[in-house]
Amino acid sequence: MSIEVSGVNKRYGDFVALEDINLTIPTGQLTALLGPSGGGKTTLLRVIAGLETPDTGTISIEGVEATALPVQKRNVGFVFQHYAAFKHLTVAKNVAFGLEIRKKPRAEIAAKVEELLELVHLSQFADRLPSQLSGGQRQRMALARALAIEPSVLLLDEPFGALDAKVRKELRDWLRRLHDEVHVTTVFVTHDQEEALEVADEIVVVNQGGIEQIGTPEQLYDEPANDFVMSFLGDVTTLGGSLIRPHDVEVTTSPLSEHSLEGTVSRVLRIGFEVRLTVLTDDGEVVTAELTRTHARALQLEEGANVFVTPSPGAYMMPAPSLAG
Amino acid sequence: MAETRRSPRTPLTYVLRIIVIAYLGLLVAWPVFLVGWNAFHVPDVGFTTQAFGEIFSDPQMMHAIQLTCIAAVVATLINLVFGVSISMLLVRTEFPGKRILSAMIDLPLSVSPIVVGLALVLVYGGREGWLGPALESVGIQVIFATPGIILATAFVSLPLVIREVIPVLEEIGTEQEQAAASLGASTWQTFWRITLPGIKWAVIYGVVLTLARSLGEFGAVKVVSGNVLGQTRTATLAVEEKYLNFDQQGAYAVAFLLASVSVICILVVFVLRARGARVR
């Protein structure tokens, strides 16, 4: 097992950043630490890297007890949200930094830098300064720099958080492919559930300093451990007192079963290919449903229409938490 | 770079311009120019470099200029090392009393140099100073000697490096340093390879400003040096001496030399700032 975190606590004054964290991250996988801002995921990543010291608890990396090791000795590659590019050094010098510190022979450094720049598609930018690169290119440079030291684990702190949506999506796919090539144990922090679901082999949901659930993207989406995980990983609505995903709500003009609830369409919102419907049931419940545009048109749905809402067969549902809680 | 948006020109714009130019001209440019003019121009004789010839052939004047240069360079080196260290301490670490230390750094700029001189005499004075007699018993004379002149010069120019470096250190943040550490660099390696190149321009401006300020220091040096001809008389003290002895030509010539060095320093800063802005 590559990274073992046990009994880790971390406080900043009165604020509990991490509370009794126990976590095992398997070797060679791409793991996401997913959670809302301020939930402790970045702190956890920095504790693993050695950039923060836990108040209690231990960290071991590749079987080596690392709790007392400074960041320099942990052999981790760390990638920052805002790239942390060495502004006065060229792209090639940035990538070579860790190797120069390790006093590797010049020829070896040059060969390694060339290989890595090839890997991150920056070969033609080797002699540029970071300020002459785009955000996406800077982050790829930072990744090459972290990989140069052949780290036992690669840690990425919201690596695509500062990039615009299109570049973020490209880099996400690229990271997945890169990981399939390089196979270094990778942990990345994100608050974007779509990013985690798309890229990670395993997701750790972190919230309020604790771990809510650990599992594969499928497990988390299909069998969320609690209402927090369910609502964080995707949209949810309530139907008959249960939590359900809006795309699992069937909308019909006649009742489908005895579970169908009658209601009135109060709002129709069209977003690209999908239509988001708000239905006010006769019991006074507000239900959101998602349909394809074609389906919505076939049913001739408009505001004020009388409809029935029913959970799809096989839909995952869980009791909704009481409003007081 | 985006084009700067200018407000429309009104008569007020021109009035303000004239006021600013007149103010700077009457207060700074014209008087400084006249020092230069008078250094070269003697009434009834015309233009001459005679005064400079006299200075360069007078061993005691050369000694004064040399002493000023030594004191300025040593004081600048001291403030370079301490200035960068104190800046790192203030920006990168937390400790009790940090705000008091930060406030104290501005003291040398706000206190009159003559007070600085008197304060140094109280501490290092050979006969009645707090630390002076002990130093003298081991053979180190501070007041009325070169060490005192260096101390006084370093004191008055202390904040210049720090005030240049601190904002830049704050601006560059700690992420690059953390990245370097994660790549295996020790604290020392991180400082030399990452932090220092990041604050390079600020350090250079600070050093040039410190040097310019140190060359011109008068008040504090006057108190601690004793103004002994050929021993502890600096160039600024020599200007006063010559002026009071009705050797106005000589006074203007030395003053011109001092002013030239300062103007060159300011030009260097000006050019460096333009370059630094382009690099950044």
SS (H, E, C) chain B: CCCCCCCCCCHHHHHHHHHHHHHHHHHHHHHHHHHHHHHHEECCCEECCHHHHHHHHCHHHHHHHHHHHHHHHHHHHHHHHHHHHHHHHHHHCCCCCHHHHHHHHCHHHHCCHHHHHHHHHHHHCCCCCCCHHHHHHCCCCCCCCHHHHHHHHHHHCHHHHHHHHHHHHHHHCCHHHHHHHHCCCCHHHHHHHHHHHHHHHHHHHHHHHHHHHHHCCCHHHHHHHCCCCCCCCCHHHHHHHHHHCCCHHHHHHHHHHHHHHHHHHHHHHHHHHHHHHHHC
Of A210-219, A273-282, B100-109, B223-232, the least confident: B223-232
| DSSP secondary structure code for residue A125 in this structure | G
Q: Beta strands A185-190 and A30-34: pairing type?
A: parallel
- pLDDT value, residue B66: 92
- Domain end, chosen from A229, A248, A274, is at A229
Question: What are the φ and ψ backbone dihedral angles of A126, each rounded to 5 degrees?
Answer: -50, -35
- pLDDT value, residue B279: 53
What are the chain B neighbours of A77 within 8 Å (beta carbons)? 182
- pLDDT value, residue B1: 43
For residues A196, A201, A206, A212, the Cα torsion angle rounded to the nearest 10 degrees is: 120
What are the chain B neighbours of A72 within 8 Å (beta carbons)? 181-182, 184-186
- pLDDT value, residue B172: 92
How many angstroms separate the CA atoms of A102 and A73, rounded? 11
Average pLDDT over residues A81-95: 94
Residue of B nearest to A52 (CA): B178
Q: How confident is residue A156, by pLDDT bands cut at 50, 70 and 90?
A: very high
Average pLDDT over residues A141-163: 92
A146 shares a domain with A76:
yes
| DSSP secondary structure code for residue A197 in this structure | H
- Domain end, chosen from A201, A229, A257, is at A229
Neighbours of B101 (CB within 10 A): 13
- pLDDT value, residue A324: 42
Residue A286 sits in a domain whose CATH number is: 2.40.50.100
A94 shares a domain with A43:
yes
How many angstroms separate the CA atoms of A98 and A77, rounded? 10
B55-279 maps to CATH 3.40.50.2300 = no
The H or E element that residue A119 is part of is helix A106-119
The count of domains in chain A is: 2
Closest CA to A112 of A129, A127, A125, A93: A93
Residue A24 lies in a domain: yes
A147 shares a domain with A13:
yes
- pLDDT value, residue A165: 86
- Select from B176, B182, B192, B278 the residue whose CB has the most chain A CBs within 10 Å, as the one to mutate to test that interface: B182
A210 shares a domain with A256:
no
Q: Is the ipTM of this complex over 0.90?
A: no
Q: pLDDT tens per residue, chain B (280 residues)? A: 445 566 777 889 899 999 999 999 999 999 989 988 888 888 888 888 888 888 888 898 899 999 999 999 999 999 999 999 999 999 999 899 999 999 889 888 889 999 999 999 999 987 888 888 888 888 888 888 899 999 999 999 999 999 999 999 999 999 999 999 999 999 999 999 999 999 998 999 899 999 999 998 999 999 998 877 778 889 999 899 889 998 888 899 999 999 898 889 888 888 877 776 655 4
What are the chain A neighbours of B183 within 8 Å (beta carbons)? 97-98, 101, 145-146, 148-149
Q: How long is chain A? A: 325
Average pLDDT over residues A29-36: 94
How many angstroms separate the CA atoms of B268 and B261, rounded? 10
- Domain end, chosen from A200, A229, A258, is at A229
Instruction: Flag if B197 and A102 touch (Cβ within 8 Å).
Output: no
CB-CB: which of A70, A77, A82 is closest to B175?
A82
What are the chain B neighbours of A12 within 8 Å (beta carbons)? none
A171 shares a domain with A224:
yes
Residue of B nearest to A155 (CA): B182
Residue A325 lies in a domain: no
Residue A215 sits in a domain whose CATH number is: 3.40.50.300
Q: How confident is residue A323, by pLDDT bands cut at 50, 70 and 90?
A: low
Cβ-based neighbours of A271, under 8 Å, separated by 6 or more: none
What are the chain A neighbours of B189 within 8 Å (beta carbons)? 101
Helix (H, G, I), strand (E, B) or coil at A192: coil
Radius of gyration over every alpha carbon of chain A, rounded to an integer in angstroms: 24
CB-CB: which of B176, B178, B189 is closest to A51?
B178
Residue A324 lies in a domain: no
Residue B250 CA to chain centroid, in angstroms? 24
- pLDDT value, residue A301: 83
Question: What are the φ and ψ backbone dihedral angles of A283, each rounded to 5 degrees?
Answer: -80, 0
Helix (H, G, I), strand (E, B) or coil at A65: strand
Closest CA to B238 of B249, B250, B224: B250
Residue A103 lies in a domain: yes
A204 shares a domain with A167:
yes
A189 shares a domain with A98:
yes
Residue A287 lies in a domain: yes
A181 shares a domain with A153:
yes
- pLDDT value, residue A325: 40
Helices within A183-280 (DSSP H only): 193-199, 217-222, 227-233
A119 shares a domain with A28:
yes
Chain A closest CA to B176's CA: distance in Å? Answer: 5
Domain boundaries, chain B: 55-279
Residue scoring higher pLDDT (A303 or A60) = A60
A244 shares a domain with A190:
no
Q: Which domain holds residue A281?
A: 236-319
A185 shares a domain with A74:
yes
- pLDDT value, residue A246: 92
